[in-house]
Structure 1
Amino acid sequence: MTFGATPSPSPRPPRRSRARRFVPLGVAAWMVLEIWLLTVVAGATSGLTVFLLLVAGVLAGAFVIKRAGRRAWRNLTETLQAGGDPAAPGEAAAAGGGTTLPMLGGLLLMIPGLVSDVLGLLCLFPPTGKLILRRVERLLTRPASYAPGTLGDAFQQARMHQPDGKVVQGEVIRRDDPPAPRRQDPPLTG
């Protein structure tokens, strides 16, 4: 029985962004490639060689991250002692990327696998590191089309609406007195 009302169309599920659709597939393909390469190397040499490669990658990555962390800490303390703003980009960061690429390179070295090791070494090698920095900077500074409901839209709104220090009207209730003891009724007997 209808009363002349037209049925409302069923709401379409929101479109998934390309990144949300393809990043899991890319990660899965990367893991399959890493495992396949490790098995190829193990078949050509031995399992001990693969194990030693993985351990060497973890140790080299830990060393690089530790060294980059010390450099970042030293730069921060020097900036604070000189009375500079630690949030402002320093000369080291502007000249060679600071410690971001060495940290990323060390992290990639620590991830088990040969492809991640090669990518980590590319981050650590200065000419390729500068190329990577330029490419990332170009990607981050280009204007993006912000579709409603995406992560980019949230970042755009956060950038547009900066906190301005306004006071929000409200009421604060503070209890300085200790809470009253709980009332205990005598047990009912009956």
Structure 2
Amino acid sequence: MDLSAKTGHDGTRPPPPTEATTIMTKRCDNASVGVLITDAKTRCLMLERATFPPGLAPAAGHVFDDHAGYEQAARAEVAEELGLTVATLELLPVGGWRPNQCRRLPGPRGVGHQWQIYQATTTGTLRPSARETRNVRWMTSVEMQRLASWTAYYALGRVSDHEFAESPGIEPVWVRFLTELGLIRMSPTDLANVDEVAAQPVRS
């Protein structure tokens, strides 16, 4: 794996969000859902988070804010973040408990989230949320691999927090999910390093 590889940035992106280092006073519900949307070319629809944590990832969010459960949250997050309507949902065999940080105060189980990851088909016209997303785009496995390698490089401490916020790789918690789904490759050592970064608190 080439840890020096980067791609997907054209130098014209807006500055990183100022909210990235702002901790909310809302308490975490310790539950997150992620929704992987693919097209006929097996590309994945990825978005850059406009709030902490920085990184590119599929649509995702907390579950029990205004939703009755994971499936309802999955449909709502796709609509809120991407403006699309979920047609079908399939629960994928990845997820579980991950001790990843979010902007919120620790929940009843402390820091972390019980994840469920779905694959979805959608209808409608892509209308990304300007408040929650940036730089939404379809990505090939090669592009995701390069950005995951950049995240692994960041996890080694060779990229600063500011540099990663300015030019992010894959959101750390998603590196393991994408690896387990066979969409990217990552060594066990690199995965452990990235998991450690995902568990770190908001840094100013």
What range is the shorter-chain TM-score in? Answer: under 0.3
Q: TM-score, normalised by structure 1?
A: 0.21
In terms of Rg, which structure is larger? 1
Bigger strand fraction: 2
Q: Which has the higher contact order (CA 8 A, sep 6+)?
A: 2
Q: TM-score, normalised by structure 2?
A: 0.20
Bigger helix fraction: 1
